[in-house]
Amino acid sequence: MRYRDTTILITGASSGIGAEFARRLAERGADLVLVARREDRLHGLAAEIRRNRPDAEVTCLATDLARPRPGASLRAALAERGITVGALVNCAGLGLTGPFLEAAPEALHQQIDVNVSALTDLTATFLPDIVARGDGALVNVASLTAYQPVPGMAVYAATKAFVLRFTEALAYELRGTGVRVLALSPGATRSEFYTVSGTDESGVSFESPAEVVSTALRALDSHGRASVVSGRRNKIMAAAAGLLPRRLVVRAAAGSVRPV
């Protein structure tokens, strides 16, 4: 993949994995479009990146991805600035921990809106330009939860299963185009996710965002598999989920997440 002279759009860029992607891709010479709801966080990250790489072009677009079809407005805003997206990293995601029957309907729909609808819409909006370049990339952040049903995070895990299968299918469809397509599945990662989702952190072994992004970049550099799980322990768990009886997988998953 060519990084210099490439503008990469990153969603969920205000913190965690998204912010780390921004830092690392800027180090490789890419220009960036940073998308998230918190505009102050985006501008703070942009200033940090420019300090480390003064020639970096960084555009901040505060956007609520839970709104219907955000791709068109983002594309229009970039067209006004003369920016064409050459690669897309969909990091934005929402999760909620707790029994399904106790969740507010709006919170359930927001997870689907951001994790599935917005990701699909942004991919449909920007993928034609990426394919036209012939050397870009599409990275969609799934999750270890994509590999099994997760009682207590039923909607979140289901949305991430969509992300994983959708991305793997696109990787096959786009073979021969020169576009690298990757589904990245992190496990527990040290970020704001556990706090925002209301998930108990007790006894959880975390990777850092830097470790997760390093996994993704190695996969992009190797032109290997269409999906990758970050972390050796997480890889074993994902593999086991495909081999063990489903009832055991569900039971184990139910014990892995607890509300605060």
Domains and CATH numbers, the chain: 7-254 (3.40.50.720)
For residues 255 and 202, give the distance between their C-alpha atoms in angstroms, rounded to a whole number: 12
Cβ(157)–Cβ(150) below 8 Å: yes
In this structure, which long-range contacts are made by residues 41-50, counting pairs with CB atoms below 8 Å and at least 24 apart in sequence?
41/14, 41/15, 42/13, 42/14, 45/13, 45/14, 45/19, 48/23, 49/22, 49/23
Active site residue 156: yes
CA distances from 172 to 13, 166, 168, 176 (A): 27, 10, 7, 9
For residues 199 and 176, give the distance between their C-alpha atoms in angstroms, rounded to a whole number: 41
Q: What number of H helices and E strands is found in the chain?
A: 10, 7
Find the catalytic residue in 3, 156, 172, 194. 156
Query: Rounded to 5 degrees, what angle do the CA atoms 26, 128, 63 make?
Result: 55
Cβ(108)–Cβ(69) below 8 Å: no
Cβ(34)–Cβ(22) below 8 Å: yes
pLDDT tens digit at each of 260 positions of the chain: 889 999 999 999 999 999 999 999 999 999 999 999 999 999 999 999 999 999 999 999 999 999 999 999 999 999 999 999 999 999 999 999 999 999 999 999 999 999 999 999 999 999 999 999 999 999 999 999 999 999 999 999 999 999 999 999 999 999 999 999 999 999 999 998 888 999 998 888 999 999 999 999 999 999 778 999 999 999 999 999 999 999 999 999 998 888 98
Of the candidates 209, 203, 205, 204, which has an alpha carbon nearest to the alpha carbon of residue 191? 209
For residues 248 and 251, give the distance between their C-alpha atoms in angstroms, rounded to a whole number: 5
Cβ(90)–Cβ(123) below 8 Å: yes
Structure tokens of 50? 């420019």
Beta bridge partners of 7: 31
pLDDT on residue 257: 87
pLDDT on residue 195: 86
Of the candidates 13, 16, 15, which has an alpha carbon nearest to the alpha carbon of residue 208? 16
For residues 136 and 127, give the distance between their C-alpha atoms in angstroms, rounded to a whole number: 9
Amino acid occupying residue 206: F
Quick one: CA torsion of 211, 217, 223, 225, rounded to 10 degrees? Answer: 30
For residues 122 and 72, give the distance between their C-alpha atoms in angstroms, rounded to a whole number: 8
Structure tokens of 75? 């594309």
Beta bridge partners of 183: 140, 227
pTM of the model: 0.96
